[in-house]
Amino acid sequence: MDRTSYKIDLSGLNILVTGASKGIGKSIAENLIRQGASVAVHYNSDKQGADEVLAKTDGKSFSIQANLEHESEVIELFEQTEERLGVIDVIILNAGIFEDQPIDMPNAEWMKLWRKVIEVNLNSTGLLTKLGLNHFVKNGSGRFVFIGSRAVFRGETQEYLAYAASKGGMTSLARSIARSFGKEGVKSFIVAPGFTRTQMAEAFIQKYGEQRVLDEIGLNELTRPEDIAPLVAMLSSGLMDHASGATIDINAASHIR
Ligand SMILES: NC(=O)c1ccc[n+]([C@@H]2O[C@H](COP(=O)([O-])OP(=O)(O)OC[C@H]3O[C@@H](n4cnc5c(N)ncnc54)[C@H](OP(=O)(O)O)[C@@H]3O)[C@@H](O)[C@H]2O)c1
Protein backbone atom coordinates (compact mmCIF):
# COMPACT_ATOMS: atom_id res chain seq x y z
CA MET A 1 0.00 0.00 0.00
CA ASP A 2 1.29 3.46 -0.93
CA ARG A 3 1.40 5.57 2.22
CA THR A 4 2.74 8.70 0.51
CA SER A 5 0.06 9.55 -2.03
CA TYR A 6 -2.67 10.76 0.35
CA LYS A 7 -2.99 14.38 1.48
CA ILE A 8 -3.69 15.85 4.91
CA ASP A 9 -3.04 19.56 4.51
CA LEU A 10 -0.64 20.72 7.24
CA SER A 11 0.63 23.81 5.46
CA GLY A 12 1.18 26.70 7.85
CA LEU A 13 1.62 24.43 10.88
CA ASN A 14 4.84 24.54 12.93
CA ILE A 15 5.69 21.26 14.63
CA LEU A 16 8.41 19.97 16.98
CA VAL A 17 9.11 16.22 16.74
CA THR A 18 11.48 14.76 19.34
CA GLY A 19 13.61 11.75 18.42
CA ALA A 20 13.07 12.36 14.70
CA SER A 21 16.43 11.00 13.51
CA LYS A 22 15.32 7.38 13.16
CA GLY A 23 12.48 4.91 13.57
CA ILE A 24 8.96 6.12 14.31
CA GLY A 25 9.94 9.78 14.86
CA LYS A 26 11.76 9.96 11.54
CA SER A 27 8.80 8.57 9.65
CA ILE A 28 6.45 10.98 11.47
CA ALA A 29 8.65 13.99 10.65
CA GLU A 30 9.06 12.99 6.99
CA ASN A 31 5.33 12.66 6.61
CA LEU A 32 4.55 15.98 8.35
CA ILE A 33 6.97 17.73 5.99
CA ARG A 34 5.43 15.96 3.00
CA GLN A 35 2.04 17.29 4.14
CA GLY A 36 3.36 20.86 4.22
CA ALA A 37 4.29 21.49 7.87
CA SER A 38 7.48 23.21 9.04
CA VAL A 39 9.21 20.80 11.37
CA ALA A 40 11.90 21.10 14.03
CA VAL A 41 13.58 17.72 13.58
CA HIS A 42 15.10 16.90 16.95
CA TYR A 43 17.94 14.39 17.32
CA ASN A 44 20.53 13.46 19.92
CA SER A 45 23.44 11.49 18.42
CA ASP A 46 22.26 10.78 14.88
CA LYS A 47 22.70 14.02 12.94
CA GLN A 48 22.84 12.12 9.68
CA GLY A 49 19.39 10.64 10.31
CA ALA A 50 17.98 14.12 10.98
CA ASP A 51 19.66 15.48 7.85
CA GLU A 52 18.04 12.72 5.78
CA VAL A 53 14.64 14.00 6.92
CA LEU A 54 15.59 17.52 5.87
CA ALA A 55 16.71 16.37 2.44
CA LYS A 56 13.02 16.22 1.55
CA THR A 57 12.13 19.78 2.65
CA ASP A 58 11.66 23.14 1.02
CA GLY A 59 13.93 24.81 3.56
CA LYS A 60 11.43 25.79 6.27
CA SER A 61 12.29 22.84 8.49
CA PHE A 62 15.54 22.42 10.44
CA SER A 63 17.33 19.95 12.69
CA ILE A 64 18.07 20.61 16.33
CA GLN A 65 20.24 18.63 18.74
CA ALA A 66 19.62 17.98 22.45
CA ASN A 67 20.35 15.18 24.90
CA LEU A 68 17.06 14.86 26.77
CA GLU A 69 18.85 13.34 29.76
CA HIS A 70 19.87 16.87 30.72
CA GLU A 71 17.30 19.40 31.93
CA SER A 72 19.25 22.37 30.60
CA GLU A 73 19.32 20.86 27.10
CA VAL A 74 15.56 20.21 27.21
CA ILE A 75 14.94 23.87 28.01
CA GLU A 76 17.37 24.99 25.32
CA LEU A 77 15.68 22.71 22.77
CA PHE A 78 12.33 24.31 23.49
CA GLU A 79 13.59 27.88 23.56
CA GLN A 80 15.55 27.52 20.31
CA THR A 81 12.59 25.88 18.60
CA GLU A 82 10.32 28.69 19.77
CA GLU A 83 12.80 31.27 18.54
CA ARG A 84 13.07 29.68 15.10
CA LEU A 85 9.44 28.69 14.54
CA GLY A 86 7.78 31.62 16.31
CA VAL A 87 4.44 29.98 17.03
CA ILE A 88 4.59 26.25 17.78
CA ASP A 89 1.31 24.54 16.85
CA VAL A 90 2.05 20.91 17.69
CA ILE A 91 4.59 19.09 19.87
CA ILE A 92 5.16 15.39 19.23
CA LEU A 93 6.84 13.71 22.18
CA ASN A 94 8.39 10.67 20.59
CA ALA A 95 12.04 10.34 21.75
CA GLY A 96 12.54 7.38 24.03
CA ILE A 97 14.81 4.57 25.16
CA PHE A 98 14.12 0.89 25.87
CA GLU A 99 16.81 -0.42 28.24
CA ASP A 100 17.26 -4.06 29.20
CA GLN A 101 17.23 -4.06 33.00
CA PRO A 102 16.84 -7.60 34.46
CA ILE A 103 16.18 -7.85 38.21
CA ASP A 104 19.30 -9.98 38.85
CA MET A 105 21.42 -6.90 38.15
CA PRO A 106 23.20 -5.34 41.15
CA ASN A 107 20.89 -2.76 42.78
CA ALA A 108 23.05 0.25 41.96
CA GLU A 109 23.30 -0.70 38.29
CA TRP A 110 19.57 -1.42 38.10
CA MET A 111 18.75 1.96 39.67
CA LYS A 112 21.15 3.74 37.33
CA LEU A 113 19.26 2.35 34.35
CA TRP A 114 15.89 3.05 36.02
CA ARG A 115 16.87 6.71 36.48
CA LYS A 116 18.14 7.01 32.91
CA VAL A 117 14.94 5.62 31.41
CA ILE A 118 12.73 7.82 33.61
CA GLU A 119 14.91 10.84 32.81
CA VAL A 120 14.70 10.44 29.03
CA ASN A 121 11.19 8.99 28.67
CA LEU A 122 9.30 10.80 31.42
CA ASN A 123 11.15 13.71 33.03
CA SER A 124 12.09 15.35 29.74
CA THR A 125 8.52 14.79 28.53
CA GLY A 126 7.19 16.46 31.68
CA LEU A 127 9.41 19.50 31.24
CA LEU A 128 8.75 19.85 27.50
CA THR A 129 5.05 19.57 28.25
CA LYS A 130 5.24 22.31 30.88
CA LEU A 131 7.11 24.60 28.48
CA GLY A 132 4.67 23.70 25.70
CA LEU A 133 1.69 24.46 27.93
CA ASN A 134 3.03 27.93 28.75
CA HIS A 135 3.38 28.56 25.00
CA PHE A 136 0.02 27.06 23.98
CA VAL A 137 -2.00 28.78 26.73
CA LYS A 138 -0.47 32.12 25.76
CA ASN A 139 -1.45 31.51 22.10
CA GLY A 140 -4.87 30.06 22.93
CA SER A 141 -4.20 26.81 21.05
CA GLY A 142 -1.86 23.86 20.62
CA ARG A 143 -1.73 20.09 20.31
CA PHE A 144 0.41 17.46 21.99
CA VAL A 145 0.85 13.99 20.56
CA PHE A 146 2.48 11.61 23.04
CA ILE A 147 3.99 8.41 21.67
CA GLY A 148 3.13 6.00 24.46
CA SER A 149 3.13 2.23 24.35
CA ARG A 150 1.06 -0.93 24.46
CA ALA A 151 3.19 -1.75 27.53
CA VAL A 152 0.99 0.59 29.61
CA PHE A 153 -2.14 -1.47 29.02
CA ARG A 154 -0.83 -5.01 28.50
CA GLY A 155 2.22 -4.91 30.76
CA GLU A 156 5.81 -5.38 29.54
CA THR A 157 8.27 -8.28 29.77
CA GLN A 158 10.25 -8.38 33.00
CA GLU A 159 13.45 -6.73 31.67
CA TYR A 160 11.70 -3.48 30.79
CA LEU A 161 9.97 -2.44 34.01
CA ALA A 162 11.27 1.15 34.01
CA TYR A 163 10.22 1.53 30.39
CA ALA A 164 6.65 0.45 31.14
CA ALA A 165 6.52 2.70 34.22
CA SER A 166 7.78 5.69 32.22
CA LYS A 167 5.11 5.22 29.56
CA GLY A 168 2.43 4.85 32.24
CA GLY A 169 3.47 8.20 33.68
CA MET A 170 3.44 9.76 30.24
CA THR A 171 -0.07 8.46 29.58
CA SER A 172 -1.46 9.93 32.83
CA LEU A 173 0.26 13.22 32.07
CA ALA A 174 -1.28 13.35 28.59
CA ARG A 175 -4.77 12.55 29.88
CA SER A 176 -4.54 15.19 32.62
CA ILE A 177 -3.60 17.84 30.08
CA ALA A 178 -6.61 17.01 27.93
CA ARG A 179 -8.93 17.47 30.90
CA SER A 180 -7.19 20.46 32.50
CA PHE A 181 -6.29 22.64 29.52
CA GLY A 182 -8.96 21.89 26.91
CA LYS A 183 -10.87 25.09 27.64
CA GLU A 184 -7.66 27.01 26.98
CA GLY A 185 -7.41 25.53 23.51
CA VAL A 186 -4.97 22.72 24.24
CA LYS A 187 -5.55 19.18 22.91
CA SER A 188 -3.64 16.12 23.96
CA PHE A 189 -3.56 12.68 22.33
CA ILE A 190 -1.75 9.44 23.04
CA VAL A 191 -0.68 7.02 20.32
CA ALA A 192 0.14 3.59 21.77
CA PRO A 193 2.17 1.48 19.34
CA GLY A 194 2.71 -2.21 19.83
CA PHE A 195 5.88 -3.81 18.56
CA THR A 196 7.16 -1.70 15.66
CA ARG A 197 10.10 -2.61 13.43
CA THR A 198 12.78 -0.03 14.42
CA GLN A 199 16.28 -0.08 15.90
CA MET A 200 14.67 -0.01 19.37
CA ALA A 201 12.87 -3.25 18.60
CA GLU A 202 15.91 -5.07 17.20
CA ALA A 203 17.31 -5.91 20.65
CA PHE A 204 14.06 -7.64 21.54
CA ILE A 205 13.99 -9.52 18.23
CA GLN A 206 17.57 -10.64 18.75
CA LYS A 207 16.76 -11.94 22.21
CA TYR A 208 13.38 -13.58 21.57
CA GLY A 209 13.34 -14.10 17.80
CA GLU A 210 11.04 -12.59 15.19
CA GLN A 211 8.63 -15.53 15.30
CA ARG A 212 7.68 -14.77 18.90
CA VAL A 213 6.70 -11.24 17.92
CA LEU A 214 4.78 -12.47 14.87
CA ASP A 215 2.95 -15.05 17.00
CA GLU A 216 1.71 -12.28 19.32
CA ILE A 217 0.03 -10.17 16.66
CA GLY A 218 -3.20 -10.61 14.74
CA LEU A 219 -1.85 -9.45 11.37
CA ASN A 220 0.60 -11.16 9.03
CA GLU A 221 3.41 -8.63 9.24
CA LEU A 222 5.13 -6.52 11.86
CA THR A 223 4.10 -2.89 12.20
CA ARG A 224 6.51 -0.41 10.59
CA PRO A 225 7.06 3.27 11.39
CA GLU A 226 5.11 4.15 8.22
CA ASP A 227 2.05 2.55 9.81
CA ILE A 228 2.14 5.06 12.71
CA ALA A 229 2.89 8.28 10.81
CA PRO A 230 -0.52 8.82 9.08
CA LEU A 231 -2.43 8.89 12.38
CA VAL A 232 0.01 11.41 13.84
CA ALA A 233 -0.49 13.68 10.81
CA MET A 234 -4.25 13.43 11.25
CA LEU A 235 -4.04 14.26 14.98
CA SER A 236 -1.73 17.21 14.19
CA SER A 237 -4.15 18.62 11.61
CA GLY A 238 -7.00 19.44 13.97
CA LEU A 239 -9.40 17.07 12.23
CA MET A 240 -9.48 14.87 15.33
CA ASP A 241 -9.58 17.51 18.06
CA HIS A 242 -12.67 15.98 19.68
CA ALA A 243 -10.64 12.84 20.34
CA SER A 244 -8.58 14.88 22.83
CA GLY A 245 -7.65 12.69 25.80
CA ALA A 246 -7.93 9.49 23.76
CA THR A 247 -5.36 6.76 23.47
CA ILE A 248 -5.28 5.22 20.02
CA ASP A 249 -3.70 1.78 19.75
CA ILE A 250 -1.65 0.77 16.72
CA ASN A 251 -0.62 -2.73 17.67
CA ALA A 252 -1.61 -5.04 14.79
CA ALA A 253 -4.36 -6.60 16.93
CA SER A 254 -1.87 -7.88 19.49
CA HIS A 255 -3.73 -6.36 22.46
CA ILE A 256 -7.36 -5.41 21.99
CA ARG A 257 -9.04 -3.61 24.88
N1 LIG B 1 9.64 0.33 18.35
C2 LIG B 1 8.67 -0.16 19.11
O3 LIG B 1 8.38 -1.36 19.10
C4 LIG B 1 7.87 0.77 19.99
C5 LIG B 1 6.71 0.27 20.59
C6 LIG B 1 5.94 1.11 21.41
C7 LIG B 1 6.35 2.41 21.61
N8 LIG B 1 7.48 2.88 21.02
C9 LIG B 1 7.87 4.26 21.30
O10 LIG B 1 8.05 4.98 20.11
C11 LIG B 1 9.05 5.98 20.28
C12 LIG B 1 10.10 5.85 19.17
O13 LIG B 1 10.65 4.55 19.23
P14 LIG B 1 11.56 3.95 18.05
O15 LIG B 1 11.35 2.50 18.06
O16 LIG B 1 11.38 4.73 16.83
O17 LIG B 1 13.01 4.24 18.67
P18 LIG B 1 14.45 4.40 17.98
O19 LIG B 1 14.43 3.92 16.59
O20 LIG B 1 15.41 3.78 18.94
O21 LIG B 1 14.66 6.01 17.98
C22 LIG B 1 14.71 6.67 19.21
C23 LIG B 1 14.82 8.16 18.99
O24 LIG B 1 14.90 8.78 20.29
C25 LIG B 1 16.08 9.58 20.36
N26 LIG B 1 16.71 9.53 21.68
C27 LIG B 1 17.12 8.43 22.36
N28 LIG B 1 17.74 8.80 23.50
C29 LIG B 1 17.73 10.15 23.53
C30 LIG B 1 18.25 11.12 24.42
N31 LIG B 1 18.92 10.80 25.54
N32 LIG B 1 18.06 12.43 24.12
C33 LIG B 1 17.40 12.79 23.00
N34 LIG B 1 16.91 11.92 22.11
C35 LIG B 1 17.08 10.62 22.37
C36 LIG B 1 17.03 9.00 19.31
O37 LIG B 1 17.94 10.02 18.91
P38 LIG B 1 19.41 9.72 18.26
O39 LIG B 1 19.27 8.45 17.46
O40 LIG B 1 19.66 10.92 17.41
O41 LIG B 1 20.39 9.60 19.36
C42 LIG B 1 16.06 8.57 18.22
O43 LIG B 1 15.77 9.64 17.37
C44 LIG B 1 9.65 5.76 21.67
O45 LIG B 1 9.08 6.65 22.60
C46 LIG B 1 9.20 4.33 22.00
O47 LIG B 1 9.09 4.11 23.37
C48 LIG B 1 8.25 2.09 20.21
Q: CATH number for the domain including 232?
A: 3.40.50.720
What lies within 8 Å, CB to CB, of 5 at 6+ separation is none
Residue 2 lies in a domain: no
Testing ligand 1's pocket by substitution, the residue of 16, 63, 97, 191 carrying the most ligand atoms inside 8 A of its CB is 97
Among 50-54, 160-164, 200-204, the range scoring the smallest mean pLDDT is 200-204
- Integer Cα distance of 178 and 75 in angstroms: 23
Which atom from ligand 1 is nearest to the alpha carbon of 21?
43
Residue 254 lies in a domain: no
The identity of residue 88, as a single letter, is I
Residue 86 lies in a domain: yes
Residue 1 lies in a domain: no
Residue 95 lies in a domain: yes
Going by CA atoms, what residue is nearest to atom 13 of ligand 1? Answer: 24
- Residue 56: what pLDDT? 75
Short-list 165, 147, 131, 173, CA closest to 18: 147
| pLDDT (mean) for 130-157 | 98
* 5 band by pLDDT with thresholds 50, 70 and 90: confident
Ligand 1 centroid, distance to 86 Cα (angstroms): 26
* 201 band by pLDDT with thresholds 50, 70 and 90: confident
Kindly report the average pLDDT of the chain as a whole number: 96
187: phi then psi, degrees, rounded to nearest 5: -115, 150
CB atoms within 10 A of CB 38: 23
The bridge status of strand 62-65 relative to strand 186-193 is unpaired
Is any ligand 1 atom within 6 A of the Cβ of residue 164?
Answer: no
Percent pLDDT > 70 in the chain is 99
Residue-number span of the structural domain to which 77 is assigned: 14-249
Residue 121 lies in a domain: yes
Ligand 1 centroid, distance to 116 Cα (angstroms): 14
How much is the pTM? 0.98
Contact 99, 105 (CB under 8 A): no
Question: Is residue 57 predicted with pLDDT exceeding 90?
Answer: no
- Integer Cα distance of 255 and 154 in angstroms: 7
Residue 3 lies in a domain: no
Higher pLDDT, 203 or 174: 174
Specify the number of domains making up the chain: 1
Distance of CA 99 to the CA centre of its chain: 17
